[in-house]
C-alpha cells in the first residue's frame, strides 16, 4: 500500500513538472516549430532538407521511405539487427528441444486441433482463414514492393506477412503454421534479410563508395544516374527488412505461444 502512495506521489510530481514544461513547447500543428523548421539563426532544418531535396536525390516520392532506407540507412540496418537479436534472444531464453523434459506437459498433443481432423468449431474459422490468408500475403507483398510510392515499406509489409502466418497458427494450430513456415525457414529468412541489407552496404564499398551509399550502384543497375540507383537499392533493402521482420514476428509468436516447445500451442 505504501508503495502505491509513494508511486502516486512520484507520478503526480513528475507529471506536474512535465506539464509545467509544456508551456515552453511550440503549439500543436505549428509548421514553424523548431522540430519542423529548425531554430531561427541556427542550422537549417534537416526535416525541411528531406522534404525539399529528397525527390531530387532519390526519385522516391514517399519521403518516409527515402529517409528510412537511404538518409538514415545505417540506423535502419541496426534497427533490423535489433529485431533479429530479439528473435535470437527469445530462441535462447525459451526454446526447449527434448519432449520428455518438458516441464509442464499441460496439453494433449494437438488432439483434434488440425483443420482436417474435423473439429467442427474450427471449420468456419479455418475456412475463412484459408480464403483470407492469400489475400493478406498478397497485400503484404504489395506494401513491401510499393513502399516508395505509397504508404508502406519493409517493416509494415514484414509485419503483415508475419501476421498472416500467426493467423494460421491461431485459427488452425501451430503445427499447421509450422508446416508452412518451419523454424528452419523463418530463422533462415531472418538471417537472409540482414544479409541482403548489409550486402547492399558492402557492395557499395566494393564498388568504391561508402557503406550504404547506394548512388554508386548505378554501375550494377545500369540506371541513368545515381538517383534511380538509390531508388532501386531502397527497394532491395526494404525487401531485406521485410524478410527479417516476417521471420522474427512469427518466431516470437511460435516460441511464446508454445513455451518454447513449438508443439501444441495455446
Partner 1 sequence: MAEFFQTTIHDYFNYWVYVILMMIGLWAVIAKNNLIKKLIGLSIFQTAIILFYVSIGVKDGASIPILHHHDPAAHAVSHEESHHKEGHKGDDSAAHKEPGDDKGDNAEAHAVNPDLIANPLPHVLMLTAIVVGVATLGVALALSQRIFKEFGTLEESELLEQLKGGNVDG
Binding site residues, partner 1, CB under 8 A:
3-4, 6-8, 10-12, 14-15, 18-19, 22-23, 25-33, 35-37, 45-48, 50-52, 55, 61-64, 67-68, 72, 75-76, 79, 82-83, 86-87, 89-90, 93-94, 103-104, 149-151, 153, 155-156, 158-159, 245, 248-249, 252, 255-256, 259-260
If the CB atoms of residues 94 and 192 are measured against partner 1, the closer one turns out to be 94
Instruction: State residue 39 phi and psi, 5-degree precision.
Output: -90, 145
CA distance 38 to 23: 19
User: Which grid cell is 185?
Assistant: 525457414
Considering beta carbons, is residue 95 or 125 the nearer one to partner 1? 95
> Least distance in Å: CB of 184 to partner 1?
20
Q: Which is nearer to partner 1, 69 or 176 (CB)?
A: 69
Q: Is the dihedral of CA 251, 150, 49, 218 positive or negative?
A: positive
User: Rounded distance, CA 149 to CA 151, Å?
Assistant: 7
The CB-of-133 to partner 1 minimum distance in angstroms stands at 20
Q: Residue 179 is placed in which grid cell?
A: 508446416
Instruction: Decide: 65 and 147 in contact? Cβ < 8 Å.
Output: yes
Shortest Å distance, C-beta 114 to partner 1: 25
Nearer Cβ to partner 1 (11/138)? 11
Torsions phi, psi for 107 (to 5 deg): -120, 150
| Nearest distance in Å: CB 185, partner 1 | 19
Q: Do the Cβ atoms of 170 and 158 come closer than 8 Å?
A: no
Q: Would you say 122 or 164 has its CB closer to partner 1?
A: 164
Output the smallest distance, CB 158 to partner 1, in A. Answer: 8
Let me know how long the chain is: 266
Longest distance between any two alpha carbons in the chain, whole Å: 72
- Residue 168 CA to residue 115 CA, distance in Å, equals 10
Residue 210: CB minimum distance to partner 1, A: 20
Are 211 and 204 within 8 A, CB to CB? yes
HSE-CB of 48 using CA atoms within 13 angstroms: 12
Nearer to partner 1, 212 or 248 (CB): 248
Q: Which is nearer to partner 1, 65 or 122 (CB)?
A: 65
Specify whether the CB–CB gap between 173 and 258 falls below 8 A: no
CB of 98 to partner 1, least distance (A): 15
Amino acid at each position: 500500500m505504501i508503495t502505491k502512495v509513494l508511486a502516486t506521489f512520484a507520478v503526480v510530481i513528475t507529471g506536474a513538472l512535465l506539464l509545467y514544461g509544456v508551456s515552453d513547447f511550440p503549439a500543436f500543428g505549428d509548421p514553424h516549430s523548431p522540430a519542423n523548421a529548425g531554430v531561427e539563426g541556427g542550422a537549417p532544418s534537416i526535416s525541411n532538407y528531406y522534404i525539399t531535396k529528397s525527390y531530387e536525390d532519390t526519385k522516391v516520392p514517399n519521403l518516409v521511405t527515402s529517409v528510412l532506407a537511404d538518409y538514415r540507412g545505417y540506423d535502419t540496418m541496426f534497427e533490423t539487427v535489433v529485431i533479429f537479436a530479439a528473435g535470437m534472444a527469445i530462441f535462447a531464453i525459451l526454446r526447449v528441444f527434448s519432449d520428455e523434459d518438458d516441464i509442464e506437459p499441460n496439453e494433449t498433443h494437438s488432439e483434434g486441433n488440425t483443420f482436417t481432423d474435423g473439429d467442427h468449431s474450427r471449420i468456419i474459422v479455418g475456412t475463412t482463414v484459408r480464403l483470407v490468408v492469400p489475400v493478406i500475403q498478397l497485400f503484404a507483398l504489395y506494401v513491401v514492393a510499393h513502399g516508395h510510392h505509397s504508404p508502406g515499406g519493409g517493416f509494415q509489409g514484414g509485419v503483415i506477412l508475419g501476421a498472416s502466418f500467426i493467423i494460421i497458427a491461431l485459427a488452425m494450430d501451430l503445427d499447421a503454421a509450422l508446416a508452412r513456415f518451419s523454424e528452419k525457414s523463418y530463422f533462415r529468412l531472418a538471417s537472409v534479410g540482414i544479409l541482403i541489407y548489409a550486402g547492399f552496404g558492402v557492395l557499395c564499398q566494393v564498388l568504391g563508395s561508402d557503406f550504404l551509399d547506394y548512388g554508386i550502384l548505378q554501375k550494377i543497375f545500369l540506371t541513368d544516374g545515381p538517383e534511380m540507383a538509390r531508388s532501386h537499392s531502397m527497394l532491395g533493402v526494404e525487401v531485406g527488412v521485410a524478410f527479417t521482420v516476417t521471420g522474427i514476428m512469427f518466431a516470437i509468436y511460435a516460441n511464446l505461444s508454445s513455451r518454447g516447445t513449438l508443439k501444441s500451442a495455446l
